[in-house]
Structure 1
Amino acid sequence: MTTHQAPVLRAAAEATERAFLRDLGDVLAEDGASLVDGQRALHYLHDRSGGETARTDVRALAVVRPADADGVAAVLRLAHRHRVPVVTRGAGTGLSGGASAVDGCVVLSTERLDRIVEISPEDEVAVVQPGVINADLNKALAEHRLYFAPDPASDAISTIGGNIATNAGGLRCAKYGVTRDSVLALDVVLADGTALRGHRSVKGVTGLDLTALFVGSEGVLGVIVGVTVRLRPLPVATATVSAYYPSVQAASGGVREISRAGVVPAVAELIDNASLRNIDEYSGSRLTDGGEVLLLVRTDGHAAAAEAADVVTALRRAGGDAHLVTDERESERLWELRRSGRGRIRPVWSVGEDVAVPKSRVADMYEELERIGRRHALDFAAVAHAADGNLHPVLSRPVPEGTDPGAPSPPELDVAEDELVRGALALGGTVTGEHGVGATKRRWLEDELGAAGLALQRSIKAVFDPNGILNPGKAI
């Protein structure tokens, strides 16, 4: 760009923005969408990933909150016509920068699309809008003795739309799969305002499976405005087994023995010693009194007790100090500590990751984490959905006393993160198990997908979004 061209291009961009905002005012008046401005708008410009995605210098043109699907379509038609980027945002609980604003965009919040439209106990389906909170849906379903299986640790604050955008998993993945396995159909508005409608039946195999394509697409193909989800009966019983092992390798042997016993647990969580110590320090618990590494297993359904007994036998066969947790309050306390017991007591520079490997290679991934930590003088800790190989490692270094915690983190963290992700890929794994690619993981896309695979995915996006306005710079 020459020095003469720059002012001309800036003037053209500013004219486009003025025209868009003028037309947006008409849309807001007609369709009941609300506009968020001033200081309140800052809340909508980033998610919980932090780092570069939490930049305060990003300038969004507007933050809009449509009240219905028609309002979403009106905003998208306008953005498509003016070629204004659109970043769709749910509750902003994402950890990969997928909902972070980009310069010159309109942030489209789905928080007002928060109705549970229908619950059908007979068909075991529910129809909901994307802004419904995961835990709120399950509260409504409980009176019908039903539940929605995906259960990310953020279930109390994350939305169904966000769960779908990243194909979130959670603790129950081993038995019930990820979000895609519980989504039957979607209503979606495409970049040009075109509406796609889904079916309501449990079965639906007509044509290509566009529903599966939209699940996990992180807002780059369309905006979800309606969801038909598959429900499951609440388990008539659950049972929790606790087992301590001297090492992660030994605990991984326990997971193998569970598989050999023919039991499919609802949940199997491996918590390493560093994570146990963090939980104790942060929550005042005394989990480390029991041993080095904790494996928590839950069975459910009519056979929960029998399966739990088989799990205890299997874990003891692998050398674990295993027992059935018979106190229901203690059981719930253990699971709550796993979900939300960790936190920061003192300032640290840290990077958190979400990788998955074949479950037979979980111990190898822990060993790689240990090597990376030693090599770069970093602390490391990880919890894992052990039955499906999804790990959530954290690499960190304490902030020296007297140093501003907001100061740039040591470069070793970035190098170590790169080695961590590439280590997972080398073990046959993936760069993300459930948090999505967003903005933070795009640098590893070609390593996993290959050049041809990545080019094909981008070609598919171009079909749905020819002007490239939906969540630019994210996912693919």
Structure 2
Amino acid sequence: MVTGPATALACTGVDTALDALASALPDSALVTDPDVLAALAADDAEWAPAGKPLAALRASTTAQVQAAVGVCADLRIPVVTRGAGTGLSGGANATDGCLVVDLSRMNRILEIDAENLLAVVQPGVVNNDLKAAVAEHGLWYPPDPASAPWSTLGGNVATNAGGLCCLKYGVTRDYVLGLEAVMGGPAGPYGTAVRFGRRTAKGVSGYDLTGLFTGSEGTFGVITEITLRLRRAPTGTPHTVVGAFDDLVFAGEAVALCTRRGLQPAALELLDRACMTAVEEWKHLGIEADAAALLLARVDSPGQAGEEEAAAVAAAFTESGALWAERSTDPTEAEALFEVRRLAYPALERLGPVLTEDVCVPRSAVPQMLARTEAAGRRHGVRIATIAHAGDGNLHPLLITPPGDDAAREAAQTAFEELLSEAVALGGTVTGEHGVGLLKRDGMTRELGPGVCAVQHAVKDALDPLGLFNPGKVVGTAH
């Protein structure tokens, strides 16, 4: 019988485990300081439980990761991988007695191949840093989560991150051509580095293991290198269409109407009055939060087609009850508006603990989900502000609570679970881009059902038979 990680560590002893790690990693940055470990033990998910790590490895090479995983397998020490810690589901939270593998120092862009439209990067490269580097070659990496200035590509791959422009250009999985991962089980002894995927434009040799690892939240192994697809940088001047609505549901109706008419802007974002007010009180950008909600659309089709699509989007806004809808080609003005959208979450965080939803529903169901969100807030007495990648149905209701108010926290957690169920009832999913982590495990079970969950357990057991990697996340290790 295989001993569970926690039991094995208790039998081995902390000092023995630390000595074994230090011996295998003589030139590495092995961290044991309690204050530093506490800072590395959790991501940004509010109220997601976090354990106390045994140690942390600030890895700088694949070889260090291999050595660490090998020791951890021998001693049954759980391995939890971490990037920038910007996750919002608890996916990077430590378990008791684990080794946190911090990949933020593996931050080199190894290759930019402009001819073949690809880049090879280490997992600690920050999303926006890659964008800036490839832009010098006239190229573009489209996935753009709101955390792009801080989040790392390894974390983006682990959660299959989306972003503002995924409505038209797709999510992270659409751009991951290949990767290197340190794993064990069928690949060989734990600590074996395996390469999946390809560098070609297409290829169907074997199962899509690259796609399987993308979005797996570190539960199959540690990703140490990523090969990404790039696009040519867009040309021409994009159009920005802004619509103001005196009712959140009317804004949702506008989204549904754009979908019915086959309109596909590069981005279609929503933010409500609470978000606008929070950003203005923080940054003093001159925003007049005189509407219940704003819709921001970016149309990047070139030439006359872009003109016509922008006009059609504005018309859809107006016909859905917008107080006003305006078009602009001023890039400075457009960037300022989208910057307000990106600043909404940190602005609201300043007001108190924020429990962040990540539900995604069919685009035609956006109005219903917005209405149910407002109703849940009223029913439970919870303040809810809403931002959304509205064009693809991915809504982020933000449940805000006063600091230190246990009753408010419990009400928010109840409303949180209720919103997960509402999304599933509308034919949606409990997470569009943040991942399951710890916060969405129950919701995922309700969404997928026992049959699919059993299949997920079987895949986890096959690829990680010791249950070493990120135990308890997504599917967990217990049957």
The alignment's TM-score, normalised by the length of structure 1, stands at: 0.91
Matched, 1:423 2:422: yes
Post-superposition CA distance 1:100-146 (Å, at most 9, x none): 11111111111121110100111000011111000000110111111
Counterpart for residue 18 of structure 1: 15
Structure 1 residues without counterparts, runs of 5 or longer: 1-8, 400-404
1:389 pairs with 2:385: no
Instruction: Classify the secondary structure of the residue corresponding to 1:425.
Output: helix
Aligned to 2:438: 439
- Identify the residue that residue 228 of structure 1 maps to in structure 2: 227
Alpha-carbon distance in 1 for matches of 2:48, 2:81: 19
Determine helix, strand or coil for the equivalent of 1:51: coil
Partner of 2:310: 308
Match of 2:355 in 1: 351
Does the 8 A contact of 2:41 with 2:93 survive in 1? Answer: yes
**Distance between the aligned counterparts of 1:420 and 1:223, measured in 2?**
32
Q: Distance in 1 between matches of 2:460 and 2:177?
A: 22
- How far does residue 358 in structure 1 lie from its aligned partner after superposition? 0.6
1:289-322 alpha-carbon deviations (Å, 9 max, x no partner): 5533211000114243443233223333434321
The answer on whether the counterparts of 2:46 and 2:355 sit within 8 Å (CA) in structure 1 is no
Q: What is the alpha-carbon distance in structure 2 between the residues aligned to residue 73 and residue 45 of structure 1?
A: 21
Partner of 1:44: 40
CA-CA distance at 1:69 after TM superposition: 1.3
Aligned counterparts of 1:138 and 1:226: Cα–Cα separation in 2: 17
The answer to whether the 8 A contact 1:263-1:307 is kept is: yes
Give the direction of change, closer, same or farther, for the CA distance of 1:249–1:186 in structure 2 (3 Å limit).
same
Which amino acid in structure 2 is aligned with residue 24 of structure 1? L
The AA in structure 1 aligned to 2:376 is: I
What is the one-letter code of the residue matched to 1:84? Answer: I
User: What SS class does the counterpart of residue 387 from structure 1 fall into?
Assistant: helix
CA distance in 1, matches of 2:362, 2:234: 28
The 3-state SS of whatever aligns with 1:104 is coil
Matching residue of 2:187:
none
CA contact (8 A) 2:259 2:364 kept: no
C-alpha spacing 1:364/1:107, structure 2 compared with 1 (3 Å): same
Q: Give, as a single letter, the amino acid of the residue that structure 1 aligns with 2:18.
A: L
- Helix, strand or coil at the partner of 1:189: strand
Cα gap change, 1:10/1:164 in structure 2, threshold over 3 Å: closer, same or farther?
closer
- Retained in 1: the 8 A contact 2:358–2:394? yes
User: How far apart are 1:258 and its partner, in Å?
Assistant: 2.7
Identify which range, 271-280 or 62-71, moves more after superposition: 271-280
Q: Aligned partners of 1:472, 1:382: CA distance in 2, in Å? A: 32
> Percent identical across equivalent pairs?
44
Task: Tell me which residue corresponds to 2:333.
Answer: 330
Aligned to 1:79: 72
Q: Which of 176, 179, 196 is the matching residue for 2:172?
A: 179
Per the alignment, residue 191 of structure 2 pairs with 193
1:367 to 349, 368, 371: 371
In structure 1, the partner of 2:281 is 281
Query: What's 1:4 paired with?
Result: none
Q: Which runs of 5+ in 2 are unaligned?
A: 1-5, 185-189
Alignment deviations for residues 339-363 of structure 1 (CA, whole Å, 9 cap, x no partner): 0145248754542211111111111
Partner of 1:245: 245
Is the Cα–Cα contact under 8 Å of residues 103 and 124 in structure 2 kept in the other structure? yes
Deviation at 1:11, TM superposition (A): 9.8
Structure 2 length-normalised TM: 0.90
Residue 337 of structure 2 is aligned to residue 339 of structure 1: no
Shift of 1:249: 2.7
Check if 1:93 corresponds to 2:95. Answer: no
Question: For 1:11 and 1:140, how far apart are their aligned partners in 2?
Answer: 45
Match in the other structure for 1:33:
28
State the distance in 2 between where 1:221 and 1:385 align.
29
